[in-house]
């Protein structure tokens, strides 16, 4: 048959978009990303559901309060953390209350958190961009795996913590800014500033990393005037994004407390509703220069309270220090040889500027971090930078000897993984089940009647707030920041009491071994003493229980009491007791709450040990009864120390860890004259 006149179809070709997609899917970068994500998913599933202290204390509440206006009905519901910028916790709240199973929600979180490993890979390959492709890929994979082998990072995969997700913004900003050394474009400084400004607004501890990386523009291969202009552009973009993301929340804080950053920087804004003393977490801050110098090596041991609350051995910082010293010695030796041979040393290429700038920025960040907190939760992005620097130094020291490099990489990874696996105490292995993240069972009477709840205890239990009757209020009166009946705090609480009265209730955790079988109020005298200064009394005839499966009981050390160790099954359910409160002013002005002697003693104890008891002059609260004696106590949030006067003795104890109480003398001796030298800064605990 003739085909004359019929159009001839052109040869079939794959669409350009499909070809691009195929190349992307088969690229090493995509395969590395997929592997990192699978690694994070498997780890999150293996660890079990996250129900750690902070999750119950303020993470869920923070996301809830970001969406629902709680300023008119809550007051320090999750202690001071109630008023930190809550937007970083919105994703967790939405996932936890979306109807997804806990495993499904954790899987989504793990995928989002795995991006920090992608960024580590990209940063490593950027730093060694002058090397052949295979070498760049190998170095990037090594850095990503070493970043994953961070015990603190592993602990947070699939959890409610925002340290990883906000840390991704930090690492992305560093990646963009380091790339500017090779290609100093204006958009890089603007973009890096916006990323780091957002990270700082969502979590204030990230601002330290935004500050330390500001040194990078001074490594650019351009004139000094241009370096200064680009550094200023970076700083202005950081400030711009910080203000934009902070403004909605800060305006509410300003309206409520007269401080846009409440409770931070209250020494400047001086809101009467919080201490004006400097507020910081000093548990992990070295007590001396010698201790600071030893910290990279101290972190190798699987010991509590070195850089994390639980054992989290990490040899990377010591290894980074050793590799850095070795490289300096090797370079010095080579320069000496060149000088003897009278040969001219080649000029350093721009590629040397990248690791040098990255290393200097990391050292600044390390120094600031160690001086301000020393808590590895707030150093996760910099831990990834440390992994990149280790990968670079390992490659640099073994240049031209690929077998040596491979053996060194394998040895480093093996030792670090073994350290983590053998010495890390991972979060409690709670089973996933098929239910939502939270399954809070609230009695019908509480679920239908809005009431004002007084939470008593260091653990605020604010995670129950979304499950209470709509319109309910919540106050944590004796958490990390104890609220007293006087001053502005007392006025705020009285205003809420008048608004909700007579629907007033107290909420306490029942940590007893047989909490499922008990019907009374645990430690009733302490609970009664906590609410009495506000003119309230516990009605023990009208109590109910709130049950939260898979929200484990927690060991809370209070004075000499310590919760006994429980079988794993006994940790699976949390029981909380809620009783009706009635107004009763017979004890509000009782002399026991206004006793001048114990307050004088505690004041003098603070003055004798100013570095140990911070912030100064917190509210004194009273526990106990007339039959067994009263305890006058103060809690110091900066150093997590509790001090008290009881039975004629003056004592103190660190709240976190397994530290014994210290007796520092008799009450009478302290009343007669201030004693000197009962303690030195950190001497009791380090």
**Which residue, 600, 624, 602, is CA-closest to 613?**
602
pLDDT at position 685: 40
Q: Are residues 251 and 327 in the same domain?
A: yes
Say if residues 423 and 313 touch (Cβ distance below 8 Å): yes
Say if residues 662 and 652 touch (Cβ distance below 8 Å): yes
Statement: residue 559 has pLDDT above 60: no
Mean pLDDT of 420-436: 84
Which residues have a Cβ under 8 Å from the Cβ of 269 and sit 6 or more positions away?
258, 259, 260, 261, 262
Q: Which residue has the tokens 């993301």?
A: 245
Statement: residue 342 has pLDDT above 60: no
Q: Are residues 472 and 386 in the same domain?
A: no
pLDDT at position 590: 60
Q: Are residues 611 and 632 in the same domain?
A: yes
Say if residues 74 and 479 touch (Cβ distance below 8 Å): no
Q: Which residue has the tokens 């989504």?
A: 108
Residue 17 lies in a domain: no
pLDDT band at 684 (very low <50, low <70, confident <90, very high): very low
Say if residues 320 and 393 touch (Cβ distance below 8 Å): yes
Q: Which two tokens stand for residue 274?
A: 């919080």
Residue 667 lies in a domain: yes
Residue 430 lies in a domain: no
State how far the Cα of 119 lies from the Cα of 28, in Å rounded to an integer: 14
Residue 230 lies in a domain: yes
Q: Are residues 545 and 624 in the same domain?
A: no
pLDDT at position 11: 55
Q: Which residue has the tokens 């690694």?
A: 39
Statement: residue 454 has pLDDT above 50: yes
Residue 167 lies in a domain: yes
Last residue of a domain, one of 371, 388, 423: 423
Q: What is the pLDDT of residues 185-201, one digit of tens each?
A: 999 999 999 999 999 99
Q: What is the pLDDT of residues 133-151, one digit of tens each?
A: 888 999 999 999 999 999 9
Residue 18 lies in a domain: no
Q: Are residues 395 and 462 in the same domain?
A: no
pLDDT at position 164: 97
DSSP secondary structure letter of residue 376: G
Residue 164 lies in a domain: yes
More confident position, 686 or 425: 425
Q: Which residue has the tokens 């204030």?
A: 204
Which residues have a Cβ under 8 Å from the Cβ of 610 and sit 6 or more positions away?
616
Q: What total number of domains does the chain contain?
A: 3
Say if residues 58 and 88 touch (Cβ distance below 8 Å): no
Say if residues 361 and 427 touch (Cβ distance below 8 Å): no
Q: Are residues 232 and 343 in the same domain?
A: yes
More confident position, 271 or 679: 271
Statement: residue 485 has pLDDT above 80: yes
Q: Are residues 241 and 186 in the same domain?
A: yes
Q: What is the pLDDT of residues 6-25, one digit of tens each?
A: 555 555 555 677 777 777 67
Q: Are residues 113 and 141 in the same domain?
A: yes
Out of 27-31, 397-401, 463-467, the most confident range is: 463-467
Q: What is the pLDDT of residues 401-424, one digit of tens each?
A: 888 888 999 999 999 999 898 888
Say if residues 511 and 554 touch (Cβ distance below 8 Å): yes
Q: Are residues 179 and 317 in the same domain?
A: yes
> Which residue segment(s) compose the domain that 633 sits in?
595-672
Last residue of a domain, one of 583, 611, 643: 583
Statement: residue 501 has pLDDT above 90: yes
Q: Average pLDDT, whole number, for the chain?
A: 87
Residue burial 130-145, b: 16+ Cβ < 10 Å; e: rest: ebeeebbbbbbbbbbb
**Which residue, 471, 537, 469, is CA-closest to 506?**
537
pLDDT band at 160 (very low <50, low <70, confident <90, very high): very high
Residue 624 lies in a domain: yes
Q: Are residues 319 and 457 in the same domain?
A: no
Q: Are residues 298 and 363 in the same domain?
A: yes
Q: What is the pLDDT of residues 244-292, one digit of tens each?
A: 999 999 999 999 999 999 999 998 999 999 988 888 888 899 988 999 9
DSSP string, 203-227: -GGGHHHHHHGGGGGGGSSS-HHHH
State how far the Cα of 130 lies from the Cα of 128, in Å rounded to an integer: 6
Q: Are residues 545 and 627 in the same domain?
A: no
pLDDT band at 426 (very low <50, low <70, confident <90, very high): confident
Which residues make beta-bridge pairs with 78?
Answer: 80
Say if residues 249 and 202 touch (Cβ distance below 8 Å): no
Statement: residue 579 has pLDDT above 50: yes
Q: What is the pLDDT of residues 352-390, one digit of tens each?
A: 889 999 999 999 999 999 999 999 999 999 999 999 999
Strand blocks (E) in 38-194: 74-75, 77-80
């Amino acid at each position: 048959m003739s085909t004359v006149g019929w159009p001839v179809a052109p040869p079939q070709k794959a669409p350009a978009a499909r070809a691009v997609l195929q190349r992307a899917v088969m690229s090493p970068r995509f395969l590395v990303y997929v592997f990192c994500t699978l690694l994070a998913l498997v780890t999150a599933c293996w660890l079990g559901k996250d129900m750690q202290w902070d999750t119950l204390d303020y993470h869920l509440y923070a996301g809830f309060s970001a969406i629902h206006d709680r300023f008119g009905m809550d007051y320090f519901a999750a202690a001071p953390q109630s008023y930190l910028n809550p937007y970083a916790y919105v994703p967790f709240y939405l996932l936890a209350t979306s109807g997804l199973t806990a495993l499904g929600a954790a899987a989504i979180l793990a995928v989002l958190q795995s991006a920090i490993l992608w960024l580590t890979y990209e940063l490593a390959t950027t730093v060694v961009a002058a090397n052949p492709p295979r070498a760049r890929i190998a170095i990037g994979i090594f850095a990503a795996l070493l970043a994953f082998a961070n015990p603190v990072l592993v602990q947070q995969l699939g959890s409610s913590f925002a340290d990883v997700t906000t840390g991704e913004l930090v690492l992305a900003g560093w990646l963009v800014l380091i790339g500017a050394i090779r290609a100093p474009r204006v958009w890089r400084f603007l973009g890096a500033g916006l990323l780091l400004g957002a990270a700082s607004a969502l979590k204030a501890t990230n601002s330290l990393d935004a500050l330390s990386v500001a040194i990078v523009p001074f490594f650019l291969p351009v004139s000094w005037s241009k370096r200064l202009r680009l550094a200023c552009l970076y700083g202005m973009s950081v400030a711009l994004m910080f203000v934009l993301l902070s403004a909605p929340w800060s305006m509410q804080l300003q309206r409520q407390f007269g401080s846009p950053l409440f409770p931070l920087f209250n020494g400047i804004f001086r809101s009467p509703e919080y201490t004006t003393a400097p507020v910081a977490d000093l548990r992990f801050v070295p007590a001396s220069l010698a201790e600071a110098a030893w910290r990279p090596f101290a972190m190798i041991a699987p010991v509590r309270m070195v850089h994390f609350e639980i054992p989290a051995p990490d040899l990377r910082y010591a290894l980074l220090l050793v590799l850095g010293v070795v490289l300096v010695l090797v370079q010095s030796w080579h320069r000496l040889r060149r000088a003897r041979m009278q040969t001219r040393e080649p000029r350093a290429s721009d590629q040397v500027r990248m690791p040098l700038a990255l290393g200097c920025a990391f050292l600044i960040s390390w120094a600031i971090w160690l001086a301000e907190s020393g808590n590895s939760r707030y150093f996760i992005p910099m831990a990834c930078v440390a992994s990149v620097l280790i990968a670079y130094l390992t490659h640099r020291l073994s240049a031209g000897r690929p077998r040596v490099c491979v053996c060194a990489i394998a040895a480093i990874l093996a030792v670090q993984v073994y350290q983590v696996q053998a010495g890390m105490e991972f979060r409690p292995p709670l089973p996933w089940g098929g239910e939502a993240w939270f399954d809070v069972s609230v009695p019908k009477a509480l679920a239908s009647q809005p009431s004002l709840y007084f939470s008593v205890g260091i653990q605020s239990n604010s995670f129950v707030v979304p499950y209470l009757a709509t319109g309910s209020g919540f106050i944590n009166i004796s958490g990390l920041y104890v609220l007293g009946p006087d001053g502005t705090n007392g006025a705020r609480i009285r205003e809420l009491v008048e608004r909700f009265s007579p629907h007033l209730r107290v909420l306490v955790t029942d940590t007893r071994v047989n909490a499922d079988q008990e019907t009374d109020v645990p430690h009733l005298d302490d609970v009664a003493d906590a609410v009495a200064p506000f003119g309230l009394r516990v009605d023990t005839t009208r109590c109910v229980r709130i049950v939260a499966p898979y929200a484990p009981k927690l060991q809370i050390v209070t004075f000499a009491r310590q919760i006994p160790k429980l079988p794993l099954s006994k940790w699976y359910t949390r029981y909380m007791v809620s009783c009706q409160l009635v107004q009763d002013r017979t004890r509000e002005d009782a002399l026991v709450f206004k006793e001048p002697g114990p307050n004088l003693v505690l004041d003098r104890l603070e003055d004798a040990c100013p570095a140990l008891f911070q912030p100064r002059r917190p509210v004194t609260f009273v526990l106990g009864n007339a039959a067994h004696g009263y305890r006058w106590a103060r809690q110091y949030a900066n150093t997590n120390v509790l001090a008290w006067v009881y039975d004629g003795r003056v004592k103190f104890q660190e709240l976190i860890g397994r530290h014994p109480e210290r007796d520092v003398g008799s009450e009478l001796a302290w009343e007669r004259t201030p004693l000197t030298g009962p303690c030195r800064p950190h001497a009791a605990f380090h």
